[in-house]
Amino acid sequence: MNASERELFSRLMTSFQTFAATLEKWPKAVAVTGALGSGKTEWVLNLALGFEALGEKVTIADLDIINPYFCIRQVTEALGARGFNIIMPPENARWSDMTVVSPKISCALATDEGRLMLDIGGDAEGALALKQFEPDIRRAGYLLILVVNAFRPQTSSVRGVRTMLERMESICGLSVGALVSNSHLMDETTPELCADGLETVMEAGADLGLPVLFAGVPPKLFEETVSTVASRNISVPCWPLSRHMMLPWEEGAMWSKAPAAGE
């Protein structure tokens, strides 16, 4: 991370302080979830970089039991090389879709050192992974963030966002404390679409009584989107969401690499 990126991420992270009196500071545990394909894993990684920009030690726990082939497990080595501590399922269950998570998460919640980021599987069923840690998470202090793409059918309306949120909360026993807008149409995304999606997410936030922390924006559209959002008198900070998870057919994806000898 270069100096300008570090300064931007630091400024974005500290902007969280202004949203609500009940969310005066980031808690020990920050859990991120959302519908399948919402971009929640990218948000875990970007927020982890934000904490790193603030000089914090970060542990990232992979609790994705829904899609083990598109989650933190894919980029473990790169994250470890950056100094992040990674908690994953046991080796013999790492690439399965069974509800197996590491007991090390309880230890990470109990320690006073650093921040714990929790990557929760998409859709309500993924919230099952949180249930066994509910008492520990409550004791440590937590924020559960729901990532919303307003252009996905499940979360394209206030009612859809509410339905997903209520299902997740009923399963995991924890309460969603904030929303993040990650509204896009892949390569067809424009600054106007980012702003349109953000407005939908803000409507859902107002209906649910929840703050919208950030609006994810493709880095190449960042400046233009900031201007578009400001022109609509929206005060939600735009986050230039860098991608770390490669699609299977993209160059650099772990699935596209030839196996090493003996694998």
Domain segments of the chain as ranges: 3-11+28-242
The model's pLDDT over 126-152, given as tens digits with 9 standing for 90+, comes to: 677 788 899 999 999 999 999 999 999
- Of the pLDDT bands very low, low, confident and very high (cuts 50, 70, 90), residue 252 is very low
Who's near 135: CB < 8 A, 6+ residues apart? none
CATH architecture assigned to 3-11+28-242: 3-Layer(aba) Sandwich (3.40)
Which pLDDT belongs to residue 245? 56
Which pLDDT belongs to residue 76? 66
Q: Kindly tell me if the per-residue pLDDT of 224 is higher than 50.
A: yes
Helices (H), 15-133: 40-53, 76-81, 104-110, 128-131
Paired tokens of 152: 């996905």
Task: Determine which of 24-33, 85-94, 145-154 has the lowest per-residue pLDDT on average.
Answer: 85-94
The model's pLDDT over 107-121, given as tens digits with 9 standing for 90+, comes to: 889 987 789 999 887
Closest CA to 148 of 137, 134, 135, 159: 159
- Of the pLDDT bands very low, low, confident and very high (cuts 50, 70, 90), residue 262 is very low
Paired tokens of 103: 């007991």
**Which H or E run includes 145?**
strand 142-148
Q: Provide the whole-model pTM.
A: 0.84
Question: What is the distance between the terminal CA atoms of the chain, rounded to a whole angstrom?
Answer: 33
Q: Kindly tell me if the per-residue pLDDT of 13 is higher than 50.
A: yes
> 224: exposed, middle or buried (C-beta count within 10 Å: 0-12, 13-18, 19+)?
middle
State the chain's maximal CA–CA distance in angstroms: 58
Compute the distance between CA of residue 59 and CA of residue 80 in angstroms, rounded to an integer: 10
- Of the pLDDT bands very low, low, confident and very high (cuts 50, 70, 90), residue 95 is very low
Which pLDDT belongs to residue 22? 46
- Of the pLDDT bands very low, low, confident and very high (cuts 50, 70, 90), residue 63 is confident
Who's near 4: CB < 8 A, 6+ residues apart? none
